[in-house]
Amino acid sequence: MSTVAFIGLGNMGGPMAANLIKAGFTVKVFDLVPAAMQTLAEQGALTANSACGAAAGADIVITMLPAGKHVRSLYVGDDNAKGLIDVVAAGTLLIDCSTIDADSARFVAKHAAEKELAFIDAPVSGGTAGAAAGTLTFICGGSDSAFEQAQGVLNAMGGNIFHAGAAGAGQVAKICNNMLLSVLMVATSESLQMGIDHGLDPQILSDIMKVSSGGNWTLDKYNPCPGVMESVPSSNGYQGGFMVDLMVKDLGLSQEAALLSNSSTPMGALARSLYVNHAKQGNGKRDFSSIFEQFAHSEQIKK
Amino acid sequence: MSTVAFIGLGNMGGPMAANLIKAGFTVKVFDLVPAAMQTLAEQGALTANSACGAAAGADIVITMLPAGKHVRSLYVGDDNAKGLIDVVAAGTLLIDCSTIDADSARFVAKHAAEKELAFIDAPVSGGTAGAAAGTLTFICGGSDSAFEQAQGVLNAMGGNIFHAGAAGAGQVAKICNNMLLSVLMVATSESLQMGIDHGLDPQILSDIMKVSSGGNWTLDKYNPCPGVMESVPSSNGYQGGFMVDLMVKDLGLSQEAALLSNSSTPMGALARSLYVNHAKQGNGKRDFSSIFEQFAHSEQIKK
Amino acid sequence: MSTVAFIGLGNMGGPMAANLIKAGFTVKVFDLVPAAMQTLAEQGALTANSACGAAAGADIVITMLPAGKHVRSLYVGDDNAKGLIDVVAAGTLLIDCSTIDADSARFVAKHAAEKELAFIDAPVSGGTAGAAAGTLTFICGGSDSAFEQAQGVLNAMGGNIFHAGAAGAGQVAKICNNMLLSVLMVATSESLQMGIDHGLDPQILSDIMKVSSGGNWTLDKYNPCPGVMESVPSSNGYQGGFMVDLMVKDLGLSQEAALLSNSSTPMGALARSLYVNHAKQGNGKRDFSSIFEQFAHSEQIKK
Amino acid sequence: MSTVAFIGLGNMGGPMAANLIKAGFTVKVFDLVPAAMQTLAEQGALTANSACGAAAGADIVITMLPAGKHVRSLYVGDDNAKGLIDVVAAGTLLIDCSTIDADSARFVAKHAAEKELAFIDAPVSGGTAGAAAGTLTFICGGSDSAFEQAQGVLNAMGGNIFHAGAAGAGQVAKICNNMLLSVLMVATSESLQMGIDHGLDPQILSDIMKVSSGGNWTLDKYNPCPGVMESVPSSNGYQGGFMVDLMVKDLGLSQEAALLSNSSTPMGALARSLYVNHAKQGNGKRDFSSIFEQFAHSEQIKK
């Protein structure tokens, strides 16, 4: 089995690395937080003193970082430090699982290609639950051969693995999807609440729209109206799930992408404004389906 | 078998009445257009000289009319004319299949109840193809007993039959659904186009989002991007399907409902504005998925 | 001087009637609330036992009522009661100062015309302060001759008197203006806050935009950012002024009008959604410039 | 009088430099287009072979360039070339009049400060007419002393000169203003058209709103409805004025700024979407008040 360097052991990266260990990979980890490394070491990981230390000698490097600037500087380096692409062996496969702007992904891919290294942008969806269960979805951008090469290691961490296109396409597809998701959530919320305002039972209205032309993922899996669906955040005080702050981040990336390509996204742009205001009102750490409360009457919310 | 009076034999009503004849009902029809009655007569319908003439003596009355004002005046009458509720026999079941404002449906139901007549609002979805094939969806509002009583005749014209709630609930549920549908269509269009603007293949992007959290009815059944899906309007110059003008009508009803209930529907309201402008630019008779062209570049549209 | 019947003595109607008394008119008042009549009686008004009682024998009738349905039934009557147009003398001038839907105004004008009575819709702006000071703006719809005839009595209550067009035009012009105002308020708020978020002083930014192409009434007279302008609601905890609930009412009328005329108003529709949500969050009784808080950070609001 | 280096002699820069010559400054120009330099030379300018050649020895450097990347590389240089800040004499005042992102302005200001050079971002409004007439508005960011020092040279090119705050504040204030302007234009258009749709005369409606709470710069100076105001683009087929493409550029900058500061700008974001779609429909080179046509009926547009 190959040796994998895993850099970035947060809520997502930690369980992903653990699944690689379970699948039999030799995993060498690095994180700025020592305790995060310690947790993985107890599960069988080797630890390194630096990102470059972890990557040197690995067959595959996987990174899971907060934003584009971290990915750029880690891979390509700067005036003060070498980048990963300067230290890995020829033939090393580079996989970045962070959700970042497409431009940064293309920037790293271009610099990697100059050193004849294969780079894949492979943002994930499925959240911390999917990371732990090994059922993440990966949406990849990069060459066909690199995508083929990545199958084994990605399969150890997830279920669906998509090839969206060339470098950066994984990031673009993910934010197109998440922008669309945000609109589905807002529009489903306002439609359900309008029904409630007219005396309809949200359970019945959901059942009808789910199998009609209003059908969408939020009605199937993630109903935002409290009490309609068990085991979703809306029936648990909007705790857990996918945080509003993270949706605001993804909607920021989507609007950044729209500016770059001169695209018009009226619904996505409106969703961003509504989510930013929702976050400013103190809902940043709650699940993103809590946008439903923007439409509900105050007496509903108090219940 | 029961005798059914069917009033309003347009593109939807005509084939619906024909399916009742095929199912063995005695059908007595009326329409202001003689040719429309003649077509049904050739299929075995009895004809009447007036709406009241058709309804007198029927077990069930079904109406399919353009707008709330027509439904109000036909059922309840006015200074100059009696209404259907003044002429039908005790125990007659009244079913209005028009898509109209909920207030008009409740108005007729209230007047019918004063005469101890059962009234159901039962707007349909499924379009002219569904009307011809007998696969319409009915979304009904009214009492449990009336809903039970209507099963037989509705089954002869359609597949899914939903009971959304009390009088008017059928109309509310339908416009909640269609408002949501309009947003799905616009948001899916802008997301696909943003992907295209970044060089992604809309087919691949659709495949990814369809099974991800962006999944919705338009990606499954009605992709708005030309060439992605066969046998849908977008691959046929946006001909056929559900006309922009009809979506504008339904979005008008949804906003009327939102005003009545003091509901906030930012996405639905924005969709209405975009569709009204689209119609004003000469697209009123094209399929509603042609909203995609608002986001495409002019060179894409020319192709 | 003429005799004026004044019906509806609320926060607006009361001071308006008082100004007529001061100007020397003989004023006969009616209101459903006896105390409201008593207040006017103390200022010199005659009182009546009913609206029709006040109107009978008057040269001019002025009404100030909450909604279209009240105006319709008061003027035209119904099955149970005569309307004002059934009891006033030939040649009486009818002036409705309520802010209502244009359709109701046209309905009353038509029925008045059938009795050869002149009717003017004359909604006001200027608020309770303008009503007290006699500086209201009147925006009138009706014939040229009726508009001429109304000058004297309107001048006694206000400053600017506009003739917007035929019957109903006063109502249309007022809601066009107030819809536009709502957008000015939201857009000015978001622009100022974006400047603040980048470290700019809202006072300086306001001064610049006021004399540049972003200049608008809210920057001149009603800055929504606390501390920029003295003596406006934003510098007084958003108390007083024009309530959010009233803006929601006017935006509802504007959207009703947009539906009637098949007009597209993306900005006005969005403003309505934002104001409805703002009201649902408990801000209905605060001044409408408090929409600024939707954009501010929570720490700003606490200050 | 001082010596001024002027770099970037396009539609705006050319006439601005000419006004400096008229005011008695010694002006040394550079542009990548020789003909542009030739035009200025005929008016008395000295010419240079490069930007750095123009700047060396000047007391003041003024630049007028298309985008942030040009400003960054010209002032700060890159691996291949020195920047202006490497070649100018100590004490030289640097003024960038381009409309660019605030980040780029702050980037240049920071690098200039490291060399103890004063830098001002001073984007203009007033268009080519204002540039020719010497009546431009300058909105400046930078230190108090630099702002003082710049008064003379800016006065020679314009009328109003504002100090918005520290480095970058000029750019922020300008895009806040232009974002607000775009919303004023769209909202005024939709309000006027709704009035027209109800039979009102747009001239009369404009006159009323102009002096009411809907009053704004577009009603005062730039009415978007054809025929209401003479000598504005709407009465000249929407030719001349401020191009849609430039408004799209400024709205892109505003959304970039909103992303940086995590600001919510629902109106500005919607205006951007509407303007991008308008541009895609072939209106990029027309005046930005042509957005009015998005709301007008096709028969109005044909007139």
State pLDDT tens for residues C70-87. Answer: 999 999 998 888 999 999
Among D174, D210, D249, D280, the one annotated catalytic: D174
Q: Is C186 on the interface with A (CB under 8 A)?
A: no
Provide CB contacts within 8 A for C106, sequence distance 6+.
C167, C168
What amino acid positions of C are annotated as catalytic residues?
174
State pLDDT tens for residues B16-54. Answer: 999 999 999 999 999 999 999 999 999 999 999 999 999
Provide CB contacts within 8 A for D175, sequence distance 6+.
D99, D102, D250, D253, D254, D257
8 Å CB contact of C280 and A297: yes
Q: Pick from B188, B191, B260 the residue to mutate for testing the A interface (most A CBs within 10 Å).
A: B191
8 Å CB contact of C173 and D205: yes
Q: Is B115 a catalytic residue?
A: no
Nearest to D267 among C165, C204, C267 (CB): C267
Q: Pick from D208, D225, D250, D262 the residue to mutate for testing the C interface (most C CBs within 10 Å).
A: D208
C49 has a pLDDT exceeding 70: yes
- Residue B268: the pLDDT is 98
Nearest to B264 among C256, C259, C273 (CB): C273
D106 has a pLDDT exceeding 50: yes
8 Å CB contact of C273 and B252: no
Count of CB atoms within 10 A of residue A42's CB?
A: 9
8 Å CB contact of A298 and C281: yes
Q: Calculate mean pLDDT across residues B262-280.
A: 97
Q: Which of A54, A156, C2, D195 is nearest to D207 (CA)?
A: D195
State pLDDT tens for residues A227-240. Answer: 999 999 999 999 98
Q: Is A82 on the interface with C (CB under 8 A)?
A: no
Q: What is the pTM of this model?
A: 0.94
Q: What ipTM does this complex have?
A: 0.94
8 Å CB contact of D273 and A252: no
Measured CA to CA, the distance from residue B88 to residue B53 in angstroms comes to 10
- Residue A177: the pLDDT is 98
8 Å CB contact of A265 and D248: no
Q: Calculate mean pLDDT across residues D290-296.
A: 96
Give chain D's domains with CATH numbers.
3-166 (3.40.50.720), 172-302 (1.10.1040.10)
Q: Calculate mean pLDDT across residues B109-130.
A: 94
C15 has a pLDDT exceeding 50: yes
Using CA atoms of A236, A237, A239, A241 in order, give the dihedral in degrees to the nearest 10: 60
- Residue B11: the pLDDT is 92
Q: Is A205 on the interface with B (CB under 8 A)?
A: yes
- Residue C301: the pLDDT is 65
Q: Which of C159, A38, B165 is nearest to D212 (CA)?
A: C159
Task: Please report all neighbours of C, defined by 3+ CB atom pairs within 8 A.
Answer: A, B, D
State pLDDT tens for residues B180-203. Answer: 999 999 999 999 999 999 999 999
Q: Is D23 on the interface with C (CB under 8 A)?
A: no
Q: Pick from C277, C293, C295, C301 the residue to mutate for testing the A interface (most A CBs within 10 Å).
A: C277
Q: Is C296 on the interface with A (CB under 8 A)?
A: yes
Q: How many whole angstroms from its chain centre is CA C266? A: 23
- Residue C300: the pLDDT is 74
Contact B291, B274 (CB under 8 A): yes
Task: Match 């008064």 to its residue by tokens.
Answer: D151
- Give contacts of B274 with chain C, Cβ < 8 Å: 264, 266
- Give contacts of C295 with chain A, Cβ < 8 Å: 277, 280
Q: Which of A69, A62, A131 is nearest to A97 (CA)?
A: A62
Q: Confidence class of residue B303 from pLDDT cuts 50, 70 and 90?
A: very low
Q: Is A264 on the interface with D (CB under 8 A)?
A: yes
State pLDDT tens for residues D258-275. Answer: 999 999 999 999 999 999
Q: Is B294 on the interface with D (CB under 8 A)?
A: yes
Nearest to C277 among A270, A280, A294 (CB): A294
Kindly report which listed range (B269-273, C275-279, D123-127) carries the lowest average pLDDT score: D123-127
Nearest to D137 among C178, C199, C212 (CB): C212
8 Å CB contact of C191 and D265: yes
Contacts with A, B 106-135, CB within 8 Å: 125
- Percent of chain B past pLDDT 70, that is, above it, reads 98
Measured CA to CA, the distance from residue D25 to residue D7 in angstroms comes to 15
* Distinct helix (H) and strand (E) counts, chain D: 14, 9
8 Å CB contact of A280 and C297: yes
- Give contacts of B276 with chain C, Cβ < 8 Å: 262-264
- Residue D303: the pLDDT is 44
8 Å CB contact of B296 and D277: no
- Residue A297: the pLDDT is 79
D249 has a pLDDT exceeding 80: yes
Measured CA to CA, the distance from residue C290 to residue C185 in angstroms comes to 9
- Residue C258: the pLDDT is 97
Q: Confidence class of residue C148 from pLDDT cuts 50, 70 and 90?
A: very high
Using alpha carbons only, give the angle C276, C209, D175 rounded to the nearest 5 degrees. 85
Nearest to B261 among A187, A198, A261 (CB): A198
Using alpha carbons only, give the angle D205, D206, D212 rounded to the nearest 5 degrees. 90
Closest chain A residue to C281, measured at CA: A298
- Give contacts of A272 with chain D, Cβ < 8 Å: 264, 269
Give every residue of chain A whose pLDDT is below 50, as ranges. 303
Q: Pick from C137, C185, C216, C295 the residue to mutate for testing the D interface (most D CBs within 10 Å).
A: C216
8 Å CB contact of A187 and B217: no
Q: Calculate mean pLDDT across residues C262-272.
A: 97
Contacts with C, B 35-54, CB within 8 Å: none
Measured CA to CA, the distance from residue A171 to residue D59 in angstroms comes to 48
Q: Is D298 on the interface with B (CB under 8 A)?
A: yes
- Give contacts of D275 with chain C, Cβ < 8 Å: none
Count of CB atoms within 10 A of residue B116's CB?
A: 9
- Residue A301: the pLDDT is 65
D302 has a pLDDT exceeding 70: no
- Give contacts of C221 with chain D, Cβ < 8 Å: 213
- Give contacts of B247 with chain C, Cβ < 8 Å: none
